[in-house]
Amino acid sequence: MLPVQTIYADLVDQLHSQPVTLLQAPPGAGKSTWLPLQLVRDKHFKRIIMLEPRRLAARNIAHFLASCQQEPLGQSIGLRIRNEQYVSAQTQLEIVTEGVLTRMLQQDPELSGVDCLIFDEFHERSLAADTALAFALEIQAALRDDLTILIMSATLDADHIAEQLNCQLIQSEGRSYPIVERYVALKDESNWLFEMPAIIKQAISEESGSCLVFLPGQREITYLNQQLMDLPPDIEVFTLFGDQNKREQQAAIAPAPSGKRKVVLTTNVAETSLTIEGIRIVIDSGRKRAAQFNIKTGVTELVTAQISRSSAVQRAGRAGRLEPGVVYRLGSLAQFERRDAHDKPEILSSDISQLLLEASLWGCDIAELTLLDSPSLIAQQQAWQVLIMLEAVDEQHKITPFGRQMLSFGTDLRLAHMLLKAQALQAEEPQLLPLAIYLVALLESRVSKHPDLAFALQNKHYLTHPQFKLSLKMWLKRFGLKPSESLQTEDLGLLVAMAFPDRMAKRRGQGYQLANGAGADVIEGHWHKDEYVAIAELGGHKGQRIFSAVPVAIGQLQTYLPHLFQRCDVCEFDEKAQRFIAESRLMLGALVIERKDNKTNLDESLRTQAWLNLVAKHGLNLFAEYSNCQQLLIRMELAAKYFPDSFSQCSDAYLTRHLSVWLAPYLANISTFAQLKKIALFEILSNMLDWESQHQLKQLFPTKVKVPSGSTIGLEYQLDGPATLSVRMQEVYGWMQSPEIAKGKVPVLMALLSPAGRPLQLTQNLAGFWQGSYKEVQKEMKGRYPKHFWPDDPATSVATNRVKSRM
């Protein structure tokens, strides 16, 4: 019996009584296959849509379930993935992938005829899955209270999800078969790949059955495939990854021929919802290829990263699907236990342009959606800027007709924008669309490593790679075009700018400055004489190395992409010359394309903006009074942290971002740099609070406290940790505890000093100190400071700031 069968009755009851249910079941429990099929057979729902994150898993599950029904795909069991659709009026269970589900929700927000949505392998927490779930929850709340949502995985971050969605967790205990864990120490972590062939050979010599090897990507798979040519004749090596054709994928998944074993080299496509018959050995490199978004450059780059412990459990589970198995993990047990418990959700580490555009089409702000994790404000601002440059939204962040078309394309938003622009210009520039299709095929297939895009495109045009050829065929068919006999690449820069307007770059020193403000380094031997380039791929150290680009004519961009350019009047203060410079500039993002001296008189607003820009550049420490304001700023920030209903944010970063709100009114009469530096910063910051709030701040976070001796002693605050009260020990006799600050929310650390002001004791527990280590201090101090009062019972003694003779 499959593990999920033991909780089936309870699960069904939960599904019929609650809007959202979480199911946590181990690999091989039957949650992706037996469970949805049984729900169909028992007629609990009229139509179920099940989301599978990966195309390979979606395709295999759909075919398997259709065979269980003894039907061709497209009858009771359906499948809908990119470029494949098998559904009919008889379909009761439809397997779909992420982008497909989002389109279905956008096109039919009521989900007509569907009464159950299943989110499988939700632990992967892709941006698309989070988006689809947020839309489904809104549909359920506003339009379809009869819609049931089931979220499931072997390794869910269940507590977090259950808390966010206020839903019940059902767990299926036990694994189908036990798995032995073995940890393989590496001689050199940096050369782990070179140790893999020996580890694989050791594993297949020690254990029976076939072997599944998890690797980060195709490069590592290719290397190991070549290194395993000398295996015994009864062992065959197969490769399995997402970009393979179906025939190769099926060969990897199929059982080994009678009398033979197989070694399958795979990426994390085999991590979930996939059973490869005969596998009882898993070798886990502990690594994956992950998308890492650089907020500064606006580039998402694939990097090799450590997997989480939950992903490692998923991978190991492949060994115990059909019989007892074994997993070999690279590295020590201690290293394994130091990994993150769960993968970081994509929404916190990815470009969220797609999410914002989907939400705009949906008709809401993302703050109104039920998202399990919220992206940062900086990530949102960066994404909106890109969407505006791509003409997907207007300045008010409303989706444009262009944006609607881009979402319907089923590809990266940038590439969709390029294709649509090229199509719109087909009448006057007919060569653009065919060239755009070839460029999309090149970028989607990721088969070129040459930095010169024009050379790479010509090369792949005549020496077609299978992945390039497949993508090219699909896009040519979609636009009704035939392959080009000759490919002219003169307009390639224009097309790259259409897709990556924020990566337009201007020569600066030995490198380039991007339109988004970031800097970029060139590859030696390329683009040294080009003033402007359009960059398709960035990466490397700090995400600032240009991997592929093409020169571009700025005049051509002004003709065909005029929305990228803005003319503005700028006033800056030149610190070297100690004077204002006023110019009229033509800008492409952060790039100055053209500048002219502005002969008009400087008005107050331009001069004020120049001062604001200067302060933003240097920070608040530009001001002479800044050091005297730091305690005030910390107190204001603590007030906002612990009493957000009464106080607003007030960090340095927040103040720097909002200079125009609080500082600008005080700059009207500032005419010199010296005057700016001497501005009354303490008074200005204090005036950000009204009289009542200033009084409340003094009460909650006093600058001084009165101690038992009658003295008034200053408090020193810090953002993280207790406030410090440095006071002579004799002055706090009689106190049993530290003073209370911020209604007890901020502890006070007592720094007790000698009569000479030297540290004697740090404590947050005065009563404990008086009863404990004070005796040792007393002995020493009596000898060193005999004129001072050192009572036997300081907790009940009278405090003093005088010597004994004057008490």
Which range is least confidently modeled, 25-29, 66-70, 611-615, 754-758? 25-29
Residue 315 parent element (H or E): helix 309-317
Q: What are 125-155's pLDDT values in tens digits?
A: 889 999 999 999 999 999 999 999 999 987 7
Across 443-471, average pLDDT = 80
Could you tell me how many residues make up the chain? Answer: 807
The neighbour count for residue 477, using CB atoms within 10 Å, is 11
Q: What are 399-413's pLDDT values in tens digits?
A: 999 999 999 888 899
Alpha helix ranges (H) inside 390-465: 401-407, 413-424, 432-445, 453-462
Q: What are 688-718's pLDDT values in tens digits?
A: 999 999 999 999 999 999 999 999 999 999 9
∠ CA 637-638-644 to the nearest 5 degrees? Answer: 85
The helix-helix angle for 453-462 and 432-445 (nearest 10°) equals 90
Pairwise CA distance, residues 725 & 707, whole Å: 10
Q: Is the pLDDT of residue 568 over 90?
A: no
pLDDT > 90 in the chain, percent? 57
Q: Which long-range contacts (CB under 8 A, 24 or more apart) does 580-587 make?
A: 580/607, 580/610, 582/606
Which range is least confidently modeled, 286-295, 378-387, 688-697? 286-295
Residue 102: exposed, middle, or buried by beta-carbon count in 10 A (0-12, 13-18, 19+)? buried
Which range is least confidently modeled, 158-167, 376-385, 396-405, 535-544? 535-544
| Among 2, 412, 404, residue whose Cα is nearest residue 174 | 2
Place of tokens 């970028």: 443
Q: Where are the beta strands (DSSP E) in 469-578?
A: 504-508, 511-514, 519-520, 532-539, 545-551, 565-574
Across 431-436, average pLDDT = 94
Q: List phi, psi (to 5°) of 559.
A: -75, -45
Q: Which long-range contacts (CB under 8 A, 24 or more apart) does 92-95 make?
A: 92/40, 92/45, 92/46, 92/47, 92/48, 93/36, 93/37, 93/39, 93/40, 93/47, 93/48, 93/50, 93/65, 94/47, 94/48, 94/49, 94/50, 95/50, 95/52, 95/58, 95/61, 95/62, 95/65
Pairwise CA distance, residues 510 & 793, whole Å: 73
Across 212-225, average pLDDT = 92
Tokens of 196: 């893999």
Across 646-669, average pLDDT = 89
Report pLDDT for 17.
Answer: 93
**Where does the pLDDT of residue 288 fall: very low under 50, low under 70, confident under 90, or very high at 90 and above?**
very high
Q: Which structural domains are found in the chain, ordered by start?
A: 3-171 (3.40.50.300), 179-344 (3.40.50.300), 353-559 (1.20.120.1080), 620-699 (no CATH), 702-806 (no CATH)
Q: Is the pLDDT of residue 601 over 70?
A: no
What is the Cβ-side half-sphere exposure of residue 625, based on CA atoms within 13 angstroms?
16
Report pLDDT for 582.
Answer: 81
State the average pLDDT for the chain.
Answer: 89
Higher pLDDT, 468 or 134: 134
Tokens of 620: 């608040």
Q: Are 53 and 129 in contact (CB under 8 A)?
A: yes
Pairwise CA distance, residues 581 & 574, whole Å: 7
Residue 293 β-bridge partners = 300
Greatest CA separation for the chain? 107
Report pLDDT for 92.
Answer: 96
Q: Are 709 and 732 in contact (CB under 8 A)?
A: yes
Provide the whole-model pTM.
Answer: 0.76
